[in-house]
Amino acid sequence: MIIHIKHSKNNSSTPFVVFVMFCFLVQLPVNLLIAEEKTHFRVTTVVQGLTHPWSMAFLPDDRILITERPGHLRLIEKGRLHPQAISGLPGIAAEGQGGLLDIVLHPDYQKNGWIYFSYSAEDENGIGTEVARARLKGMKLTHLQIIFRVEEKSEGGRHFGARLVFDTKGYLYISVGERGDRPRAQDIDDHAGSIIRLHDDGRVPKDNAFVGKPDAKPEIYSYGHRNPQGMTLHPTTGEVWTHEHGPQGGDEINIIQSGKNYGWPVITYGVNYGWGTKIGEGTHKPGMEQPLYYWDPSIAPSGMSFYNGNKFPQWRGDLFVGSLKFNLLVRLKLKNNKVVKEERLLANKYGRIRDVRNGPGGYLYLLTDDSNGSLLRLEPR
């Protein structure tokens, strides 16, 4: 069954709620057709029953890997969720925002079979972000190698970052949050609050900005970040784009450049929670980068992808961002690396959008962060 809904900020959500209740009672699939600015698409639920899913990766044989934050790696095959999780993961500390997080395939996956994933792990000092790679054999990971560890682990369950991206030259980028400890983001002798750049096996590239410098971590590519939970590659320029959570306001989109300082917590467009008091020194400071775009109030962004498929020609080159706070999908129209239009889709229809990915066949896929989370697919009418 398909229902047509014309989106409007003034529309009541009552028809949607009634429809979903009807589908639940008669066990019909929820397959909504949405009209947004003359772009007609349906949202199909591929699978449900995921436990706080965080990220997805599409295997060449049409199977899909899904990470669940509590520490499970799941497999979708022929449109069905395998009842058992994949075994062979390292030890995972699923505390607060931590757990099993991002997952990506090596650019030459079909030749080498490497799968990369980020997670939070524990030692005697606390927990922190780590990255490992492994190969999949049946329902088990093999040849497990841990290729990156945040050295300064700490207490608490906030701000792990943990997004992964390979660039066009095969370098691996890792986002690392500042763990809720603001000054760490300005310390280049600390992995926290930075973007890390490595070779695919964990070696440090010789041209990283801080290689050979005293009191600096050579893995750091950029710093001054709060909690980057979105990272993607520009399909034309090959630049690495990130977004990160601000405090109360000030969520940012940035284009990452080697050795640059992105300001947190010295400059920000956000304010302190509760009282709304000023953070740092304002919004600008020489030697610190300005965001390409920011949100105030905060949307709590997570997941990000440029659309480069062929199913929606009018969306090609647009940037899509999930929102946890407002339960929606944001579409950003760009011109010369500037946002010229923002459109908000699916508001309060599916819950917290955790991840956004281009998928096989030119479709756009979403994950909803919930105890009964879903994998959704946007399809043209």
pLDDT in tens, 216-271: 999 999 999 999 999 999 999 999 999 999 999 999 999 999 999 999 999 999 99
In angstroms, the CA 199 to CA 205 distance is 6
* Domain of residue 268, residue span: 37-380
- Evaluate whether residue 27 is within a structural domain: no
CA distances from 350 to 27, 327, 347 (A): 18, 7, 8
One of 52, 72, 106, 159 is an active-site residue; which one?
159
Domain count, the chain: 1
CATH number of the domain bearing residue 370: 2.120.10.30
Answer yes or no: is 258 within a domain. yes
Q: Give domain status of residue 333, yes or no.
A: yes
- Annotated catalytic residue 82: no
Mean pLDDT in residue range 141-157:
98
Name the more confident of 111 and 8.
111
Among 144, 252, 157, smallest CA distance to 195 is for 252
Q: Where does the pLDDT of residue 39 fall: very low under 50, low under 70, confident under 90, or very high at 90 and above?
A: confident
pLDDT in tens, 152-191: 999 999 999 999 999 999 999 999 999 999 999 999 999 9
Q: Classify residue 334: in a domain, yes or no.
A: yes
Dihedral sign computed on CA atoms, order 298, 300, 305, 307: negative
- The whole-model pTM stands at 0.91
Side-by-side strand order, sheet with 140-149: 100-105, 115-123, 126-137, 140-149
Please check whether residue 293 lies inside any domain of the structure. yes
pLDDT for residue 326: 97
354: tokens are 């955790």
- Does residue 242 form part of some domain? yes
Each residue's pLDDT tens digit, 6-24: 333 334 444 444 433 434 3
**Residue at 12 is within a domain:** no
Q: Is residue 9 part of a domain?
A: no
Other C-beta atoms closer than 10 Å to the C-beta of 167 total: 16
End-to-end C-alpha distance for the chain, whole angstroms: 13
